Amino acid sequence: MTSPIVRRSNQSGQSKEPERANSPLLASRRFAAWATEIILVVTSGLIPFGIGVYANSRSDLNRVPLNPVLVVTERAIARPLALPVSYGIRNVAWPTNILWTIALLAPVTLSWWQLYLLAKTGSTIGKRWLKVRVVNEQGKPPGLGAVVIREGVGRWTVPISIAYLLWRYSFAFPNLGLFTFLSLLMIVGEGIGLPSRRGRRALHDQLAGTYTVDALLASNRQAHSTGGNDQAEEWQEGNEELAPDQTNQSPNLWRRIQQNPNLTLFGVGLTSMTAVLATLIGTQVYIQIQQSQRATEKINRQQFDELRNQLIPNSGATNEQRQSAILAMGGINDPQSIKFLADLLVSETNPSLLDTIQQALTTVGPQAIPELKNKNQFLVSELESVGSTATQERELRQGRLQRNQRTINKILSVYSGKIQSVDLSSTQLGQSGTPGSSFFNLVLDNLDLSGVKFKSANLNQASFKGSRFRGVGDDGRWDTYDDVMADLSQAQLQQANLTDANLSRVLMNRTDLSRATLNRANLSNARLYDAKLNSTQLVGADLRNAVLEKASLTGADLGDAKLNEANLYAARLGRATAIGTQLSFANLSNTDWQGADLSGAYLDRANLSNANLSATRLAGAVLRSAQMENVNLQNADLSLADLRGANVAGADFKGAILAPSKQDPADQFVQTPDLGSVSAVVQGVDFSQAKNLDTKQLAYICTQGGIHPRCP
């Protein structure tokens, strides 16, 4: 490519002076244009996202599953940034689904539109406003290919990749604040550029072969030009760096290949020989591995056949020999030996041999779980097929099932922390509740059960005291994408003991935890959608940010539990005990608390819109700045409740107690103290749109600083 001739005259020298004078101004306009582009893209996503968040907080909108595209996007972003994974698909308000989809598509669409404008015209929206232009060496718009290299590779990929590597392997990982700081630092550093013969030039411009010029200065020069040749010369004088000397340009790759054909042939030949040699070595290694595996399998089959012959009923082997054969078979660790031992565990009746079989299967370890699980499900179906009158047959099959359950229990206990891939879904490991059912109790206290799949398993009356259902994963850090969590969704855990258990972020959707004990358990960020927690003990439990949407907690004890920012949309909490419970910022819209005790509970800034709090005890509750639109407070006790800043528009106060009336001393057998100190704090609260306020309530509101049109 030839460069236009540049005139070396006094006039051209003078024409370059304004460019040098304006260079700091051009740099500031370049930065302002870049900031404008970022603001436009970010704003296009933040506005619909913010409106979607607001719509999701509304309780009067139907809720639907989150768009699968958004779910996939969330997980794609979560993995590289080490954000905690969110299992399952949460429900959101239907407008939120649409708005969040727009929030995803709008920035992408706007970004590609700006890239198209930059490729075709040399200016984005921001650059056009601030009179900045990007051109190639000929002074023309750069084209789509150069723009992709300039923006996709140079401006974003290179600096953010460097920042990511520094962050990922630093002591502060997974702190997103540090990653954001490093990314900004690298982007700004790349934009400042590297010193060259003609001044500083950004890395993205050097990679794409583009130049950032003053569009206003260029247009002025074009207006004063007298002809096509003069215009080209003046353009080159004003932007001399756009036409570097051809002699100083380094030859490209294709030119080097043409100039050095022998070197090229040598490189191609060396690469081909290396590829052929690597293929031969890899093939030989693969053949060796396959031969070794076949030889090992042949030896294992021979050993298995010899040991099986000693264990057949008519083999004539002594009891000691049979025990030795069983233990040896457990050491083979072969699929056919595992299946044989699992079958023998069911059919054998000798107590000493049964203990030996269990010991052999325990030696095999977690590899025996799949076969034991299959046998467990078969035995359960067999037990269910036996009629209630066949008592002897039923006891026989119950005994077989119990041996299977005990073996699974022992393997889980022995290999704690090494069972992350174990799948016990739909396994019977608890009480069924039917007459004559198995009396086996699963005991897995103080164990590491992270990653075990208990989906739809029967774990009734099991004991998991102090056990951990969540692990740190390979990176050794909590709250990152690779955290290993158990799956307890749809499991039966009635009357199970999970005291002090770590169930943080565990999936427990539609799990039955009725009458279970979860005192002081860590359930933060757990997903308990539509779960059954009726009469469950949750005293002191940590349920912060947990999802309990449509869950049933009727009669549950939530005393001193932490439910800050938890989502209990449409949950049922009738007759629940929540004394001193922390529910700040929680979503309690459409919840049913009828007859519950919320004395001393912290409900500040909680969303209680459309909630049913009839006949509840809210004495001493903190309801500051709570959203209480259309809440049902009929016959509720609000003695000493703090309502300052609460929104009570449409709330029903029929029969609600704001200040207990004093009894006539003559009607009292024992005189009671003055109750004036247990009055609700309503100063500044607007009761204008509240419903069913009687004269006594209005009198109290007006005298205590409340707001109502009927107040004097």
**Sites in the chain below the pLDDT cut of 70:** 1-24, 59, 85-89, 193-200, 218-259, 388-390, 432-438, 660-678
Task: Assess if residue 709 is contained within a domain.
Answer: no
470 strand-pairing partners:
485
H or E stretch covering 471:
strand 470-471
Task: Assess if residue 99 is contained within a domain.
Answer: yes
Task: Assess if residue 92 is contained within a domain.
Answer: yes
Contact 150, 210 (CB under 8 A): yes
Task: Assess if residue 81 is contained within a domain.
Answer: yes
Contact 502, 448 (CB under 8 A): no
3-state secondary structure 283-334: HHHHHHHHHHHHHHHHHHHHHHHHHHHHHCCCCCCCHHHHHHHHHHHHHHCC
Task: Assess if residue 673 is contained within a domain.
Answer: no
Q: How many residues in the chain?
A: 712
pLDDT tens digits for range 647-678:
999 999 999 999 866 544 544 444 444 434 45
Tell me how far apart the alpha carbons of residues 37 and 31 are, in angstroms, rounded to a whole number. 10
Domain span at residue 52 reads 10-142+210-246
Number of structural domains (the chain) is 1
Check residue 596 and give its pLDDT: 97
* Residue 565 CB coordination number (10 Å): 19
Q: Return contacts of 66-74, CB within 8 angstroms, 24+ apart.
A: 66/90, 66/91, 66/92, 66/97, 66/100, 67/97, 67/100, 67/101, 69/101, 69/104, 70/97, 70/100, 70/101, 70/104, 73/104
Task: Assess if residue 494 is contained within a domain.
Answer: no
Check residue 220 and give its pLDDT: 64
> What pTM value is reported for the model?
0.80
Check residue 359 and give its pLDDT: 93
Check residue 80 and give its pLDDT: 87
Task: Assess if residue 390 is contained within a domain.
Answer: no
Task: Assess if residue 386 is contained within a domain.
Answer: no
Which residues have a Cβ under 8 Å from the Cβ of 144 and sit 6 or more positions away?
A: 115, 116, 119
Check residue 240 and give its pLDDT: 46
Check residue 10 and give its pLDDT: 42
